[in-house]
Amino acid sequence: MSSKSLKETDSRIKIDRLLRESGWDIEDMTQILTEEPASDGRADYILLDSRSRPLAVIEAKKFSINPNLAQDQAKAYAKSIDAPFIFLSNGQTIFFWDYKNSASRQVDSFFTKEDLERRNILAKQIKPLEEIPIPDKFFYFNKSIEVRPYQKEAIQSVDRSISKGKRRMLIEMATGTGKTLTIGIMLKRLFEAGIIQKVLFLVDRKNLAEQAKESLAEYLKGYEPKVWYGGKPKELGRIVIGTLPTISSQLERFSPGHFDIVITDECHRSIYNLYRDLLNHFDALHVGLTATPNLGHYEYINDKEKKLVRNTYEFYDCWNHASQVGESTFAYDMVNGIKDGFLAKYDIYLAKTRITVQGVSYEGVDYKPTDLERKITIRSRNKLMVEEFRLHENQRGGNHFRKTLVFAVTKNHAAQLKEHFDVVFAEFKGDYARIITSDTPDSDQILADFKKQEFPICLISVGMLDTGVDAPTVENIVMMRPTASAILYQQIRGRGSRLAPQIDKTSFLIYDFVDNASRFNDPMLANAIPGEKMLPADFTKQVDEERKRKPFDFIIVPEDKLSDEITSRETIKIGPEGMAIDKKVYADKFVETIKTMENQPIFQKIIDDKVLEDNEVQALAEKLNSPDYYFNEENLQEVYKQPTGSILDFIKSALGKYKFPTKQERVENAYSSWLRQKNFSADQTKLLVQLRDRFVAGDSEITAEDFIKPPFSDQGGISYAVALFGEDKLKDVINEMNETVLL
């Protein structure tokens, strides 16, 4: 046997393994034929359907050959035996080719027989989308709803993209413009056209999954949208709504061909980290949804955010490399929504305190404004802002207390603000404001009461309410958290943008106590304040600043020690154009609780490695998150520092049936995967390994400060690193490691 054929034999050994992993029995001649005579030679593999008819040809090449070079040969084979699909592989890379309908594209693995058969049936039933009308109106929760012009335009834009063969599309629609309902209309037409049969709708939190299910189930009656909480349910339904962590943790369940379309809500958050691999796994139509428009008109944007925006456009094939701008499939922003009368207009009440603007000197230490609530908290300042809020609300008048969202810096900051709201609004006996953070056990109920009941009137949030909260009656947004993120600013602002006819709401007010509006040069300001450009500091200067830092204790300054005062008040008219969880106690209590339940039948199924039904997993999750326990997936992920753990994973861990990967294992796996995509020199790789090891040892992220410490200081420090990479590339690589590798 020649060395050439030996090398191809090596690749076939890998191909055999990959086929087995995809559910094919390579020794069953009713499933797979090998070396079958075909046009101009022999077909390496022929995959057969359930009736032993050719379903796909696999053309195998040796490792050193790009398998895509064998297209002509494979196509001749496939056409001669009437096989609808082709796989091209060298054992390391796999291309899938639906040669009658599209170009070949790289995939993670071979498809299952079921997925190939289903796609073959679908391909024979497709109708032109133009034959299926977009409705003008429909009934939705017993109300007649008119489809808005921009929603029709969004759907038509997707139609055009699909007809041109595009498989990735990005839809930008401002908060409150009905993204989910627009997607519902789009999906129903794709179902009716025979283009899709199975849908994956991805969100990043469970409450958003339930919210999406409620909307889609009402419009897509008969298509059974189901939320997947974990486990391995026997039947998922035609529309699966899942959280990114849940789907990512069980990705091996699905072949790349399992879903026909993947909808990703707030897609800009999914491009980095391990979730990019999740999205790339599925060979499907991909539609990204985001309320965050192109950031090009903002001047105050850091490099990291610019890169995030660009990567989002690139993933959805919407980045124009010639003009260096994003060109989404469809965009409808807040400016147009207000101008067209579909979104609430808004004004900004800008109130600045002396300490907020100037910082403060306390006990011989100077604190900058950016240190507030991170190194030092001034109780008098926080109380003053709450008092100013009440004063202005009283001056505005009205016949009701306005629903309000307050955005705080930290959980400690939120807790202190709650104290001040209780004092300033004393007549409500503590019911005026509630805290809602990732540690708030009954956050779903608090949010439901806020939306439907009289109390609470105000929610104080840290990182929980900036996206996905559908609360049209919110009339006040209170910014007490400064941010350098244009994306976060827009998301917070969008919480008040929905109209609420039931309370005659056509506008809302932003109370800006931290000057966010002028920082981002809000494009809707009638008299725009020039935006401050926050360009990244020179890397070597950043090192000098890090070197001067000293360890600090968090300082709480009592109200009688320092006073503050409002130094400026301005109403900017806009034109048309909780309680902290003790993590160790919480973790110990969780293990103790699971141990007391292990004799129950459902826990016996888990112990015996039996598959739970989806309703069993959901009932178990609800029981653990009841007022008796308050154990839920998000809290457990934070406590155990396992970002992809499902509720079943944590239960199995408590029962000794599962061991989570260590931080080192997670980082090293992510690092290895990332490095394989790069082309670094040996010296560059050595330095990056050392950076990775610092993170594993305890660093929360890679910063400039790392280069003034061993082993880097012994190797020439920042100068050596810059010499290896160049300053701009070094910054890019470190940003990418922080976002992609260091989970």
C-alpha dist (Å) from residue 167 to 85, 262, 271, 433, 699? 18, 10, 16, 46, 39
Q: Which of 298-302, 512-516, 657-661 has the highest mean pLDDT?
A: 512-516
- Give the residue, 12 or 518, on which the prediction is more confident: 12
In this structure, are 70 and 91 located in the same domain? yes
In this structure, are 396 and 518 located in the same domain? yes
Q: Averaged over 650-672, what is the pLDDT?
A: 82
Q: Averaged over 25-35, what is the pLDDT?
A: 93
- Asked if 388 and 380 touch (Cβ cutoff 8 Å), the reply is no
Q: Place 699 in a pLDDT band, splitting at 50, 70 and 90.
A: low
Q: Place 678 in a pLDDT band, splitting at 50, 70 and 90.
A: confident
Phi, psi torsion values for 407, nearest 5 degrees:
-105, 115
- Asked if 384 and 398 touch (Cβ cutoff 8 Å), the reply is no
Mean pLDDT (the chain, rounded) = 84
Is residue 169 in some structural domain? yes
In this structure, are 399 and 493 located in the same domain? yes
Q: End-to-end distance of the chain based on CA atoms, in angstroms?
A: 48
Cα 228–chain centre separation: 17
Q: Averaged over 92-113, what is the pLDDT?
A: 94
C-alpha dist (Å) from residue 390 to 395, 401, 404, 700? 9, 10, 12, 39
* pLDDT over 50 at 57, yes or no: yes
Concatenated DSSP letters of 241-308: EEEHHHHHHTGGGS-TTS-SEEEETTGGGTSSTTHHHHHHH--SEEEEEES---GGG-S---HHHHHH
Q: C-alpha angle 83/95/74, rounded to 5°?
A: 40
Q: Place 543 in a pLDDT band, splitting at 50, 70 and 90.
A: very low
Q: C-alpha angle 579/582/584, rounded to 5°?
A: 160
pLDDT of residue 347: 87
621 by Cβ neighbours in 10 Å (0-12 / 13-18 / 19+) ranks as buried
d(CA 400, CA 268): 37
Residue 711 DSSP SS3: coil
C-alpha dist (Å) from residue 531 to 228, 297, 479, 486, 656? 44, 10, 18, 12, 55
Q: Could you tell me which of 381, 462, 378 has the C-alpha nearest to residue 415? A: 462
In this structure, are 176 and 197 located in the same domain? yes
In this structure, are 671 and 537 located in the same domain? no
Structure tokens at 417: 């603000």
* pLDDT over 60 at 646, yes or no: yes
Concatenated DSSP letters of 213-258: HHHHHHHSTTS-EEEE-SS--S---SEEEEEHHHHHHTGGGS-TTS
Three-state SS annotation for 453-513: CCCCCEEEECCCCCCCCCCCCEEEEEECCCCCCHHHHHHHHHCCCCCEHHHCECEEEEEEC
- Give the residue, 573 or 34, on which the prediction is more confident: 34
Enclosing H/E stretch for 594? helix 583-597
Q: Averaged over 575-592, what is the pLDDT?
A: 57
Structural domains counted in the chain: 5
Q: Place 246 in a pLDDT band, splitting at 50, 70 and 90.
A: confident
pLDDT of residue 114: 95
Q: Place 550 in a pLDDT band, splitting at 50, 70 and 90.
A: very low
607 by Cβ neighbours in 10 Å (0-12 / 13-18 / 19+) ranks as middle
Neighbours of 148 (CB within 10 A): 17
d(CA 78, CA 120): 14
Q: In this predicted structure, which of 5-19, 56-70, 398-412 has the lowest mean pLDDT?
A: 5-19
* pLDDT over 90 at 329, yes or no: yes
CATH number of the domain encompassing residue 68: 3.90.1570.30
List pLDDT tens digits, range 129-173: 999 999 999 988 888 999 999 999 999 999 999 999 999 999 999
Is residue 119 in some structural domain? no
In this structure, are 276 and 211 located in the same domain? yes
Find the domain containing 646 and state its range.
583-654
Is residue 121 in some structural domain? no
In this structure, are 503 and 441 located in the same domain? yes
In this structure, are 649 and 667 located in the same domain? no
Structure tokens at 447: 């949010």
Neighbours of 185 (CB within 10 A): 20
Q: How many residues does the chain have?
A: 743
CATH number of the domain encompassing residue 195: 3.40.50.300
pLDDT of residue 521: 62
pLDDT of residue 551: 46
pLDDT of residue 421: 97
Neighbours of 687 (CB within 10 A): 21
- Asked if 203 and 244 touch (Cβ cutoff 8 Å), the reply is yes
Residue 378 DSSP SS3: strand
Q: Averaged over 601-618, what is the pLDDT?
A: 85
Concatenated DSSP letters of 6-35: HHHHHHHHHHHHHHHHTT--TT-TTTEEEE
Percentage of residues in the chain with pLDDT exceeding 90? 44
- Give the residue, 406 or 301, on which the prediction is more confident: 406
Is residue 120 in some structural domain? no
Q: Place 619 in a pLDDT band, splitting at 50, 70 and 90.
A: confident
Is residue 727 in some structural domain? yes
Q: Averaged over 707-728, what is the pLDDT?
A: 80
Strands in 9-156 per DSSP E: 32-38, 41-48, 54-60, 85-89, 94-97, 105-107, 137-140, 143-146
In this structure, are 480 and 529 located in the same domain? yes
List pLDDT tens digits, range 349-360: 989 999 999 999
d(CA 50, CA 116): 11
d(CA 470, CA 360): 38
Percentage of residues in the chain with pLDDT exceeding 70? 86
d(CA 359, CA 353): 10
Q: In this predicted structure, which of 54-68, 114-128, 204-218, 417-431 has the lowest mean pLDDT?
A: 204-218
Is residue 494 in some structural domain? yes
- Domain boundary pick from 654, 683, 715: 654
pLDDT of residue 431: 96
Q: Place 300 in a pLDDT band, splitting at 50, 70 and 90.
A: low
Concatenated DSSP letters of 325-369: EE--SEEE-HHHHHHTTSS-EEEEEEEEEHHHHH-EEETTEEE-G
pLDDT of residue 533: 31
- Asked if 380 and 562 touch (Cβ cutoff 8 Å), the reply is yes
In this structure, are 243 and 283 located in the same domain? yes
* pLDDT over 90 at 46, yes or no: yes
What pTM value is reported for the model? 0.74
